[in-house]
């Protein structure tokens, strides 16, 4: 079998037939961390090392796992040195998603089908950099047929760089994690943006709504929240005002604000994403050296299902925004999928972060299919800071096609239904939900 041939991850005729229906569909990347200014400026890349290693904590983490010195990860080594070091560890990553993504990107972006290793590194580095002379951000977006990109933005952010570039809509995502922390320095910053003091919770909610209106005016269609666990208790409006003065770290106050924001999302027809079960920056020494989003976050205990239920009980079905759940701890996946059947407008999201592996995605798909409904899923997103990471959509589409193809081959699913589900999950569902 040829290395990473056209049938990668496709093991049956049915899977290949289904994949043929989805492989060329456009991409809607509804959650990522791309830089909208680079899209606006049609940025170029000086070096494949910069393209791959400038901000990819997946790769940084793998390099640390292989004993690479930090000098070649986040240190001041050259891009060439960092690339060569990454290339040397690649053979060790067999089965890791990075092994797939790296070679898919080499093939799709650079036309290079040779396995990456220490031995091939020099050849691949030179060939890729020659190709990079003709590649820019718009080149990649056009190649992958990216119709929509949702960046991740703080309520205080300026959104003037969002807009339509070529055939790609670049829209902001409302991410109010810092606002919900009620940090004094952040609230001062927010005061400067809205132009009035934030002395009460009512002031803060007014500011949140004004900033959400600003986001909507710039094309925002989706929000995002990241936190460790769902709160176990929700304050009333009166208690929340008291806690704002006396105990801003109280989870009941956090719960109150979370619900109030959900009501705003419903009012403005905004989808609410909720990412949870993650513990951030567990290596305090390295966090001090490298900062956030550098590879020191880990899977946490899952939220108690009773606490997730309690959140949804705060909002009647008719007052709840469309909500997508992402857990980093997929041991709770079955319970969460079952929950989506108890409350309207709630669905499970894609296999997130540490789970976007071959087996993690398969587990996510099969659990959603068995405990919820696969055909209404929103499918893949990059959650990435790299413009070459759109190969991950092909990775997902192949795994989805094989999952559905297995059902067809075993006589457990009609081919027509399998193709329809595949197209809906890969494209139609999220396009309809975002009203594109």
Any idea what the CATH number is for the domain that residue 57 is in? 1.10.2020.10
Helix and strand element counts for the chain (H, E): 20, 11
Using CA atoms, how far apart are residues 89 and 73, in angstroms rounded to an integer? 12
Are 426 and 400 a contacting pair, CB within 8 Å? Answer: yes
**Confidence (pLDDT) at 1:** 58
247 and 201 assigned to the same domain: yes
311 and 209 assigned to the same domain: yes
Residue 223, phi then psi, degrees to nearest 5: -115, 170
Burial tier of 103 (Cβ tally within 10 Å: 0-12, 13-18, 19+): buried
76 and 202 assigned to the same domain: no
194 and 330 assigned to the same domain: yes
59 and 171 assigned to the same domain: no
- List the chain pLDDT tens, one digit each, 436 residues: 578 999 999 999 999 999 999 999 999 999 999 999 999 999 999 899 999 999 899 999 999 999 999 999 999 999 999 999 999 999 999 999 999 999 999 999 999 999 999 999 999 999 999 999 999 999 999 999 999 999 999 999 999 999 999 999 999 999 999 999 999 999 999 999 999 999 999 999 999 999 999 999 999 999 999 999 999 999 999 999 999 999 999 999 999 999 999 999 999 999 999 999 999 999 999 999 999 999 999 999 988 999 999 999 999 999 999 999 999 999 999 999 999 999 999 999 999 999 999 999 999 999 999 999 999 999 999 999 999 999 999 999 999 999 999 999 999 999 999 999 999 999 999 999 999 9
Domain boundaries, position 82: 44-135
363 and 248 assigned to the same domain: yes
236 and 352 assigned to the same domain: yes
DSSP letter at 417 equals: H
340 and 423 assigned to the same domain: yes
| Residue 398 forms part of a structural domain | yes
Other beta carbons less than 10 A from residue 251's beta carbon: 19
22 and 50 assigned to the same domain: no
**Confidence (pLDDT) at 2:** 76
CATH number at residue 167: 3.20.20.140
Phi/psi-derived region of residue 27, left when phi > 0, alpha when psi is between -120 and 50, beta in every other case: beta
**Confidence (pLDDT) at 95:** 97
CA distances from 352 to 22, 59, 135, 196 (A): 21, 16, 29, 38
User: What's the structural domain count of the chain?
Assistant: 2
Strand 163-165 with 168-171, pairing:
antiparallel
121 and 203 assigned to the same domain: no
| Residue 50 forms part of a structural domain | yes
């Amino acid at each position: 079998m040829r290395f990473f041939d056209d049938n990668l991850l496709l093991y049956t005729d049915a899977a290949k037939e289904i994949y043929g229906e989805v492989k060329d569909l456009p991409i809607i990347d509804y959650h990522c961390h791309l830089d909208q200014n680079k899209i606006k400026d049609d940025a170029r890349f000086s070096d494949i090392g910069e393209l791959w290693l400038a901000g990819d904590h997946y790769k940084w983490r793998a390099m640390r796992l292989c004993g690479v010195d930090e000098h070649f990860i986040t240190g001041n080594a050259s891009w060439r040195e960092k690339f060569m070091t990454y290339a040397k560890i690649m053979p060790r990553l067999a089965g890791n998603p990075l092994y797939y993504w790296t070679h898919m990107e080499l093939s799709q972006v650079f036309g290079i089908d040779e396995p990456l290793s220490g031995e091939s590194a020099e050849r691949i580095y030179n060939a890729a950099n020659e190709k990079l002379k003709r590649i820019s951000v718009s080149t990649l977006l056009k190649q992958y047929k990216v119709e929509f990109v949702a960046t991740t933005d703080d309520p205080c952010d300026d959104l003037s760089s969002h807009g339509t570039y070529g055939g790609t809509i670049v829209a902001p995502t409302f991410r109010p994690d810092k606002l919900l922390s009620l940090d004094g320095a952040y609230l001062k910053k927010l005061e400067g943006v809205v132009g009035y003091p934030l002395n009460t919770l009512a002031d803060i909610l007014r500011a949140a709504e004004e900033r959400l209106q600003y986001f909507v005016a710039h094309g925002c269609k989706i929000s995002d929240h990241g936190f460790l666990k769902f709160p176990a208790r929700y304050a009333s409006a009166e208690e929340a005002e008291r806690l704002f003065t006396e105990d801003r770290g109280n989870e009941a106050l956090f719960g109150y604000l979370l619900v109030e924001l959900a009501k705003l999302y419903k009012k403005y027809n905004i989808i609410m994403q909720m990412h949870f079960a993650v513990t951030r920056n567990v290596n305090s020494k390295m966090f001090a050296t490298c900062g956030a989003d550098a590879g020191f976050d880990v899977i946490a205990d899952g939220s108690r299902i009773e606490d997730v239920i309690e959140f949804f009980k705060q909002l009647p079905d008719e007052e709840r925004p469309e909500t997508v759940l992402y857990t980093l701890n997929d041991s709770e996946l079955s319970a969460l999928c079952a929950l989506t059947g108890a409350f309207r407008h709630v669905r499970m999201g894609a296999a997130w972060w540490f789970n976007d592996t071959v087996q993690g995605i398969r587990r996510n798909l099969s659990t959603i299919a068995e405990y919820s409904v696969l055909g209404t899923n929103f499918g893949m997103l990059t959650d990435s800071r790299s413009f070459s990471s759109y190969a991950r959509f092909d990775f997902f589409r192949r795994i989805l096609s094989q999952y559905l193809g297995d059902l067809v081959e075993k006589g457990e699913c009609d081919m027509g239904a399998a193709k329809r589900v595949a197209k809906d999950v890969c494209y139609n569902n999220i396009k309809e939900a975002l009203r594109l």
